[in-house]
Structure formats: C-alpha cells, structure tokens
C-alpha cells in the first residue's frame, strides 16, 4: 500500500458536460474510481444522477462510490465528514480516484479567486492534512494544484 505522501486525489466538477466529454476527461487522467461527494446524488443533467452515472461508469469499467458525508449542501457532522475523507484516502491508495461535485470550475473568476465549490473549500485542505496530493481537473482537461487553505471560502 502506498504511503500517504504518494496518494493523489483528483477532483472534478461535472458542470454541463455532455457525457462523452466528461468521460474523456476521466480517461485523459486515467481515473479508475469516481467518488461522488455530493450530499444528494442528483443533477438537472440526467447523465449525472447517481444511478445513471454509476451504471454509465460501470459500462466504462470505472468504479463509483457515493460519499454523501463529504457533501457541501448538507455538511455532515465532523465525525462523519472525517470518516468520509478517510474513505477517500483509503480508496485513493488502491486506485486512481477522483472526487466529483457539480461545479465545473473549482475557483471563481474574481480578482482574488475564491473557492467555487466544496471540493476546494471544504475537502481539499483536510485531504492534504491526511497526506494526499490534490489535483483539480479543469473543464478543458488541464490541471491545477494550489494552496486551498489560503483561499477565501464560505466553507
């Protein structure tokens, strides 16, 4: 099992991506397991509803796990959130894992960028504290690494 320093956790937001484009992003970064960190696994974009997403990923041989205790709309009690984050690290130690929420852009476009989603504002800092490297997949497929703890955030 890798040491925590070698674990990388990717993040992605599904946004309004058509399924093929979202899948291409996962393939580009060789994602093997998607951790859905929305408190409610629903979207107005049907391809990202939990059961549909899980079935589509299964057909593509990508794992899926829903971790509502990591969600941002309904923040879980600290012990539940910690358990969810520990689960993400555990999964990322065995597979190339990516946490997913709905916001496609992890940062706002303000003069001083802010966390635009809970995977940046709530989850990334404690994942780093657990020894994980956190890499944000952007809508164009490029990646971003930053010090999330230094960003203004509502979380």
Please report whether residue 123 resides in a domain.
Answer: no
In this prediction, residue 121 carries a pLDDT of 92
Number of domains into which the chain is organized: 1
Q: What is the pTM of this model?
A: 0.93
Please report whether residue 130 resides in a domain.
Answer: no
Regions in the chain scoring below 50 on pLDDT: 1-4
Q: What is the dihedral of CA 65, 66, 67, 69, to 10 degrees?
A: -170
Domain that holds residue 52: 12-110
Please report whether residue 126 resides in a domain.
Answer: no
Please report whether residue 85 resides in a domain.
Answer: yes
In this prediction, residue 4 carries a pLDDT of 45
In this prediction, residue 136 carries a pLDDT of 97
Q: Which residues contact 114 (CB under 8 A, 6 or more apart)?
A: 107, 108, 121, 151, 152, 153
Please report whether residue 101 resides in a domain.
Answer: yes
Please report whether residue 55 resides in a domain.
Answer: yes
In this prediction, residue 6 carries a pLDDT of 80
- Integer Cα distance of 89 and 98 in angstroms: 10
In this prediction, residue 48 carries a pLDDT of 97
Please report whether residue 124 resides in a domain.
Answer: no
Q: What's the Rg (C-alpha) of the chain?
A: 14
CA 139 to chain centroid:
13
In this prediction, residue 1 carries a pLDDT of 43
Please report whether residue 144 resides in a domain.
Answer: no
């Amino acid at each position: 099992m890798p040491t925590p320093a070698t674990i990388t956790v990717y993040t992605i937001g599904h946004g309004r991506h058509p399924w093929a484009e979202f899948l291409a992003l996962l393939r580009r970064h060789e994602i093997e397991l998607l951790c859905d960190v929305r408190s409610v696994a629903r979207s107005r974009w049907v391809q990202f509803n939990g059961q549909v997403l899980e079935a589509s990923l299964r057909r593509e041989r990508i794992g899926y796990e829903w971790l509502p205790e990591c969600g941002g709309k309904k923040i879980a009690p600290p012990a539940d959130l910690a358990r969810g984050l520990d689960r993400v690290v555990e999964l990322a130690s065995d597979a190339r894992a990516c946490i997913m929420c709905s916001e496609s852009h992890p940062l706002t476009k303000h003069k001083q960028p802010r966390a635009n989603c809970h995977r940046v504002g709530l989850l990334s800092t404690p994942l780093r504290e657990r020894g994980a490297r956190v890499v944000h997949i952007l809508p164009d497929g490029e990646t971003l690494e930053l010090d999330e703890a230094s960003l203004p955030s509502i979380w």
